[in-house]
């Protein structure tokens, strides 16, 4: 039976992906996160929605330091090497606070960059040793160009993008495919809590694009797809013009 492990399974985008995957074929999900209550509710939902044969294991763990993150992923892998592994957790920091408080800046960079990279490496090693798998990492369009409104978060996602590119290079000939997903602003608790402005994509729309891209083993998936063109323009803007934009 297919096995899917999601680190940060409480993420709304990850949940939308799992709702898609659970209807495709019998799957064993390993849901990894901090809140047992949230993960159990998600497990119950997947069991109701999932095709016959769907099963779920809940695995709670810590994310506060390197040892805790490493122990959490080791515990998740003890349930078996996943055919599909996803690293989904992240948080949108207050850039103003991160600009003033060293501890807030360090947390923003760590939670969105260092810990996801650590998880990715451990999952990649396991899949490579098992002879294959798909590894899905949640980056962001914010990692494509530093902006004054969110460069702490963007820099962490940029770290993850370079890390993903390195894993993609390392994956040649191993049977593992690594996909970095770059969602645009999406309507989830993360953006609601941060008061993000502008048009937000729905998690289901983002998940549909992600699932199609992951199935094809695409290395970089913009979701929704229009963000590929938008970010190409943003990256190409000359500095004097870019500096005048309030983004
Ligand atoms: N929403 C967007 O606009 C957007 C855009 C681009 C990229 N992304 C990325 O997509 C991913 C999923 O985001 P989402 O929108 O689905 O967010 P979400 O629904 O708010 O979920 C965030 C998840 O991250 C976990 N998390 C937050 N802080 C954590 C920490 N310090 N340690 C461990 N886990 C932590 C949360 O765990 P608990 O349930 O335990 O709190 C939750 O599972 C993230 O990597 C995010 O950066 C989102």
Ordered domains of the chain (ranges, CATH): 2-244 (3.40.50.720)
DSSP per position, 146-187: --TTTHHHHHHHHHHHHHHHHHHHHTTTTTEEEEEEEE-SBS
Q: pLDDT digit string (tens) for 74-118?
A: 999 999 999 999 999 999 999 999 999 999 999 999 999 999 999
Q: Which residues of 21-59 are buried (b: 16+ CB within 10 A; e: fewer)?
A: bbeeeebbbbbbbbeeebbeebbeebeeebeeebebbbb
Give yes or no for a contact between 85 and 134, defined as CB atoms under 8 angstroms apart.
yes
State the burial class of residue 64 (Cβ atoms within 10 Å of its Cβ: 0-12, 13-18, 19+). exposed
Which ligand 1 atom sits nearest the alpha carbon of residue 193?
Answer: 20
- Give the distance (Å) from ligand 1 centre to CA of residue 240: 33
pTM assigned to the model: 0.98
Q: pLDDT digit string (tens) for 199-218?
A: 899 999 999 999 999 999 99
Which ligand 1 atom sits nearest the alpha carbon of residue 89?
Answer: 24
Ligand 1 neighbours by CB, cut-off 6 Å: 8, 10-13, 33-35, 38, 63, 88-91, 111-112, 138, 140, 183, 185-186, 188-191
DSSP 8-class letter at 58: E
Which ligand 1 atom sits nearest the alpha carbon of residue 138?
Answer: 45
């Amino acid at each position: 039976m297919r096995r899917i492990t999601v680190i940060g399974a409480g993420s709304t985008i990850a949940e939308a992906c799992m709702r898609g995957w659970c209807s495709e074929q019998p799957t064993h999900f390993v849901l990894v996160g901090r809140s047992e209550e949230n993960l159990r509710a998600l497990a119950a939902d997947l069991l109701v929605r999932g095709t016959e044969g769907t099963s779920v294991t809940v695995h709670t763990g810590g994310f506060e330091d390197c040892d805790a993150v490493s122990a959490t992923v080791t515990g998740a892998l003890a349930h078996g090497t996943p055919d599909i592994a996803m690293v989904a957790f992240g948080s949108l920091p207050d850039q103003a606070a991160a600009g003033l408080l060293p501890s807030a800046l360090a947390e923003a960079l760590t939670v969105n960059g260092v810990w996801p990279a650590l998880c990715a490496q451990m999952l990649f090693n396991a899949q490579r040793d098992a002879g294959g798998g798909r590894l899905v990492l949640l980056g962001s369009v914010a990692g494509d160009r530093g902006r004054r409104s969110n460069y702490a978060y963007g820099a962490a996602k940029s770290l993850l993008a370079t890390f993903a590119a390195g894993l993609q290079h390392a994956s040649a000939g191993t049977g593992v495919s690594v996909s970095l997903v770059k969602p645009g602003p999406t309507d989830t608790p993360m953006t609601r809590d941060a008061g993000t402005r502008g048009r937000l994509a729905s998690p289901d729309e983002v998940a549909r694009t992600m699932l199609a891209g992951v199935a094809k083993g695409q290395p970089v998936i913009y979701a929704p797809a229009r963000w590929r063109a938008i970010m190409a323009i943003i990256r190409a803007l000359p500095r004097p013009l870019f500096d005048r934009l309030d983004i």
